[in-house]
Chains A and B, each alone.
Chain A
Amino acid sequence: MLRKIRIVLAGISLLLITLLFLDFTGTLHAYLGWIAKIQLVPALLAGSVGVLIFLALLTLFFGRMYCSVICPLGIMQDIIAWFGKKAKKNRYSYSPKKEKLHSGFGFLFLICLVSTPSFSHFVISLLDPYSSFGRIATNLFAPVYRWGNNVLAYFAERSESYAFYETDVWMRSAWSLGIVVVTLLIISILAWRNGRTYCNTICPVGYWLGVFTWLSKTAMLRPVIDTSKCNGCRLCEKNCKGACINSKEHKIDYSRCVMCMDCISKCKRGAISYAMKAPAASCKAAASPTKEVPASESRRAFLTGAVIATAATAMQAQKKKVDGGLAVIEDKVAPQRQTTILPPGAKDIRHFTKACTACQLCVSACPNQVLRPSNALERFMQPEVSYERGYCRPECTSCSNVCPTGALTALTREEKSSRQIGRAVWIKKNCLPLTEGVSCGNCARHCPTGAIQMIPSVEGDDKSVKIPAINTERCIGCGACENLCPSRPFSAIVVEGLDTQKVM
């Protein structure tokens, strides 16, 4: 019964948080955003006192329930482990705690949280289980979900329905994808073979919750073995994904127990019950180091931008302008920005780099294809802004409103449209009026703040071709100018980021 409740709760929890990452329409974020905000590391970074107290009480009374019901990476491992157990029954066994290894990860994480070594963002991003799950969902689940949506959109289009619309699936960063694949591979193998090995040897959240559990020796509900009923069949041990039941000694290491209740339902003699009782001391043993496989880069060119059908017109004997056809459109290429553009709502680069766990929730929520994980080492996998596929539309506040860690502060529409996230810079050598002598002004026409006006290229000559003049004071860095600039592949107007975002 308890196990069933746990499974149902975990199922709902995983479903909701996955949907949060899959939804690209912006409708679910308002309803499901809370589920990212009750994750431990985001709550720590955001300083959500209420959430932290709740999680502390939960762990005090119910042990590491968090790992079984709230943590999406944990629930995902349970699913993989379930398949592993299908392949081979009763496959687990008790193993002593890998104290040194696990505490190593736990303290490394803690140091990175409280101090600021240059690699801290990387450690936090990589070790936070919620963020690992977020990256897996964004990079691997979301494309599948979107392709499925596109199939529905295909049929909707043909039946004049507007219920589904097509969405682009594109690879935002090959490096990030590589990390994600490696993470998933490691976690899957560990979960398949031994259940919660990752949670009990690597995961810092698991470590600290374990410590917390150990501290609260007396006052909690937990599975306890009634030695009078136990016949020593070891069934509980063989099915303990935490490898924490020492059935010979009838002891359970509660710092590793994730409260899955599997042992209770497995025991045929009813020897294990969920009750309050003084725990057995945790077992100590030498740690055998588990090496993490270094991330390898995979550069699969998968769906890089729309394939543009081009009309090749074979010119015949005579010169003529023929009717119809579409000109080739070259893909835009991102300029080398001297300063990265941060997502709107990031206060400044130091705060942002420190607070972001690279969970990719903002990236998956961005409807304008503006956000993507950074490849720069100092902000690896944290989101950054670029305008090759769209621009940061002034009315959109999606990313800032979903951020669970407080790296991005929530913005209203009004705040967003007056928030400076960058400044436009004119690149003379690419500007079409000068290079091709045509009149243009597409940047000025689309600037939402009116920061661009068109001025004569020759001083005092009103008839000369017009070039853009940017009023930096009014520019919010939305990138409409850069994105809609006809100059390709490099725009004639590009946005430079700001270290500190300002309000106009």
Chain B
Amino acid sequence: MDRREFLKIVGITSATTAGLYSCAPKKGAELTSKELGPVPTDQMTCRTFPGLGNDRPSLLGYGCMRWPTIPNPNGEGNMIDQDAVNELVDYAMAHGVNYFDTSPVYVQGWSEKATGNALKRHPRESFYISTKLSNFSDYTRENSLAMYRQSFKDLQVDYIDYYLLHSIGGGGMDAFRRRYVDNGMLDFLVEERKAGRIRRLGWSFHGSKEVFDEMLALHEQYHWDFVLIQMNYVDWHIAKGSGIGAKYLYEELEKRGIPVQIMEPLLGGRLSKVPDHVVALLKEKDPERSVASWAFRFAGTPKGVMTVLSGMTYREHLEDNIRSYAPLVPLTEEENEFLFHAAKLMEQYPTIPCNYCAYCMPCPYGIDIPSLFMYYNKCVNEGNVPESRQDPNYKEARRAFLVGYDRAVEKLRQADHCIGCGKCNKHCPQNIKIPRQLQRIDEFVEKLKQETL
């Protein structure tokens, strides 16, 4: 898709903003860098879709699964920092973000409440809220209904704009039937949509091609208003876990005119924390754009994409992402190919495809799985994973890895305590064989400690 084609579709929003963009004042002292200039407040790209009526969701959607937390004053773990959430939400809304995506299970079950608290300070019609039926552990009708009703209470709303069946694909079609069909929940939700308490009904997907095809076959029966898929330039052709590329998912949805929501545009931050020479590559292409902006532009470019969800904990990430979409400058074919090339380079690094979503947590044996994977990936990307004692920087890398390991994860929560019970595996949307990866890290650490690498 080229730029002109894109402008035709997006229409007035982009056309006017593009005009504004070029007319921006050019004073010498002003920070005119794409990474530092003023964050536009009125240029957010919004798309409309025939199936979504007058809805104009912002292209950047706020994922509410990574809200900032602070230590709980009672000393037990962490709690959401509501003041910080309010500030982030206000900032996002002031800059054109109007789509907020949460779930009853996010942030240890506190996300809906915190999101609701922040949003109720704004007029109800100024934002779209989306949440999910996350009945993973107990899919009886009673429990599912209770979860559904609790969402209204926690979000403090009387209707939900976008409602999703959470994580279709895990456990195959069987799990789908048990969670939503056999207990009558899906029929119930279709009725709720008719009654207007849910405005749009869709599902999020993490699974195999077969399940995806079967779910699309049900479109006639249930009429899916939208579908949430994982898409980024690394798994466009083929995804590491499920084996199907986002290209297939996207094209099948577009064919049927179903608006597409995107999750994991950054792969949990892995596409902003890329190996150093990939950073150099991207910066060479455009020194003023952030590394993350490439991933966002990639996810936002296809015209069937309604919203790209990103879980933003920090204001600078929010600002950067708003810049990427206010307005979106679509990628050219050539730029697309360039990103696929960068993805190929990244593939050569043995990182673990973890997005740090923490669905696997809490591990019953206290292992801090996401922190371990995050640390390992960081070391891989920074070249601090020595391959043999003959490596020229072996001594420094060994010390850096071992000292950093204890800093990143406290000793009792490190990989050597993984007993391999496998309870985490079924929760992983990326299909990572978690115990196997933990044991791989543990073996590596042992080799470093014993100097037998």
Determine if A162 and B400 form an interchain contact, defined as CB atoms under 8 angstroms apart.
yes
Q: Which residues of B contact A308 (CB under 8 A)?
A: 412
Q: Which of A323, A393, A486 contacts B357 (CB 8 A)?
A: A323
Q: Which of A317, A326, A393, A394 contacts B77 (CB 8 A)?
A: A326
Q: Which of A317, A323, A439, A442 contacts B150 (CB 8 A)?
A: A317
* Distance between Cα atoms of A312 and B109 in the complex (Å): 11
Q: Which of B74, B146, B362, B365 contacts A325 (CB 8 A)?
A: B362
Q: Which of A311, A312, A442 contacts B420 (CB 8 A)?
A: A442
Q: Which residues of A contact B396 (CB under 8 A)?
A: 162
Instruction: Verify if B176 is at the interface (C-beta below 8 Å from A).
Output: no
* Distance between Cα atoms of A323 and B109 in the complex (Å): 7
* Distance between Cα atoms of A16 and B216 in the complex (Å): 76
Known contacts being A166-B407, A320-B105, A320-B135, is A438 close to B419, with CB within 8 Å? yes
Q: Which residues of B contact A114 (CB under 8 A)?
A: none
CB distance from B185 to the nearest CB of A (A): 13
Of residues 315 through 340 on chain A, the ones whose CB sits less than 8 Å from some CB of chain B are 315-329
Q: Which residues of A contact B267 (CB under 8 A)?
A: none
Q: Which residues of B contact A195 (CB under 8 A)?
A: none
Determine if B136 and A326 form an interchain contact, defined as CB atoms under 8 angstroms apart.
no
Number of chain A residues whose Cβ lies closer than 8 Å to a Cβ of chain B = 40
Instruction: Verify if A432 is at the interface (C-beta below 8 Å from B).
Output: yes
Determine if A440 and B366 form an interchain contact, defined as CB atoms under 8 angstroms apart.
no
Q: Mark B345-377 against chain A: 1 for CB-CB distance below 8 A, else 0.
A: 000000000000111011111101000000000
* Distance between Cα atoms of A393 and B422 in the complex (Å): 27
Known contacts being A394-B450, A395-B451, is A316 close to B150, with CB within 8 Å? yes
Q: Which residues of A contact B65 (CB under 8 A)?
A: 323
Q: Which residues of A contact B410 (CB under 8 A)?
A: 306
Known contacts being A165-B407, A317-B150, A484-B416, is A393 close to B449, with CB within 8 Å? yes
Known contacts being A327-B366, A439-B421, A445-B439, is A320 close to B147, with CB within 8 Å? yes
Determine if B105 and A442 form an interchain contact, defined as CB atoms under 8 angstroms apart.
no
* Distance between Cα atoms of A23 and B361 in the complex (Å): 38
Of residues 117 through 141 on chain A, the ones whose CB sits less than 8 Å from some CB of chain B are none
Instruction: Verify if B16 is at the interface (C-beta below 8 Å from A).
Output: no
Determine if B449 and A395 form an interchain contact, defined as CB atoms under 8 angstroms apart.
yes
Instruction: Verify if B221 is at the interface (C-beta below 8 Å from A).
Output: no
* Distance between Cα atoms of A93 and B364 in the complex (Å): 69
Q: Which residues of A contact B11 (CB under 8 A)?
A: none
CB distance from A188 to the nearest CB of B (A): 37
Determine if B107 and A324 form an interchain contact, defined as CB atoms under 8 angstroms apart.
yes
Instruction: Verify if A310 is at the interface (C-beta below 8 Å from B).
Output: yes
Determine if B449 and A323 form an interchain contact, defined as CB atoms under 8 angstroms apart.
no
Instruction: Verify if B240 is at the interface (C-beta below 8 Å from A).
Output: no
Determine if A326 and B361 form an interchain contact, defined as CB atoms under 8 angstroms apart.
yes
A-side interface mostly: loop
- Report the nearest A residue to B359, measured CB to CB: A323
CB distance from B178 to the nearest CB of A (A): 15
Q: Which residues of A contact B143 (CB under 8 A)?
A: 318-320
- Report the nearest B residue to A165, measured CB to CB: B403
- Report the nearest A residue to B370, measured CB to CB: A324
Q: Which residues of A contact B361 (CB under 8 A)?
A: 323-326
Of residues 154 through 177 on chain B, the ones whose CB sits less than 8 Å from some CB of chain A are 154
Q: Which residues of B contact A318 (CB under 8 A)?
A: 104, 138, 143, 146-147, 150
Q: Which residues of A contact B449 (CB under 8 A)?
A: 393, 395
Instruction: Verify if A313 is at the interface (C-beta below 8 Å from B).
Output: yes
- Report the nearest A residue to B443, measured CB to CB: A445
CB distance from B131 to the nearest CB of A (A): 13
CB distance from A488 to the nearest CB of B (A): 9
Q: Mark B204-219 against chain A: 1 for CB-CB distance below 8 A, else 0.
A: 0000000000000000
Instruction: Verify if A383 is at the interface (C-beta below 8 Å from B).
Output: no
- Report the nearest B residue to A157, measured CB to CB: B407
Q: Which of B77, B399, B413 contacts A162 (CB 8 A)?
A: B399
Q: Which of A165, A319, A432, A442 contacts B406 (CB 8 A)?
A: A165
Instruction: Verify if B283 is at the interface (C-beta below 8 Å from A).
Output: no
* Distance between Cα atoms of A324 and B75 in the complex (Å): 17
Instruction: Verify if A223 is at the interface (C-beta below 8 Å from B).
Output: no
Q: Which of B108, B364, B368, B423 contacts A323 (CB 8 A)?
A: B108
* Distance between Cα atoms of A212 and B359 in the complex (Å): 75
Of residues 283 through 333 on chain A, the ones whose CB sits less than 8 Å from some CB of chain B are 306, 308-329
Of residues 434 through 451 on chain B, the ones whose CB sits less than 8 Å from some CB of chain A are 439, 449-451
Determine if A440 and B421 form an interchain contact, defined as CB atoms under 8 angstroms apart.
yes
* Distance between Cα atoms of A309 and B71 in the complex (Å): 9
Q: Which residues of B contact A242 (CB under 8 A)?
A: none
Determine if B362 and A327 form an interchain contact, defined as CB atoms under 8 angstroms apart.
yes
Known contacts being A306-B412, A318-B150, A395-B451, is A442 close to B417, with CB within 8 Å? yes
Leading 9 A-B pairs by shortest Cβ distance: A311-B77, A318-B146, A322-B109, A324-B358, A329-B366, A438-B421, A440-B419, A312-B76, A325-B362
Q: 11 A-B residue contacts at CB 8 Å? A: A165-B407, A166-B407, A309-B78, A318-B138, A320-B134, A322-B105, A322-B109, A323-B361, A326-B363, A442-B420, A486-B365
Apart from the given pairs A309-B77, A322-B109, 17 other A-B contacts in the complex at a CB distance below 8 Å? A166-B406, A166-B407, A312-B74, A312-B77, A318-B143, A318-B150, A320-B104, A321-B105, A321-B136, A322-B104, A322-B108, A323-B107, A323-B357, A325-B362, A329-B412, A439-B419, A440-B421
- A residues touching B (Cβ–Cβ < 8 Å)? 157, 162, 165-166, 306, 308-329, 393-395, 432, 438-442, 445-446, 484, 486
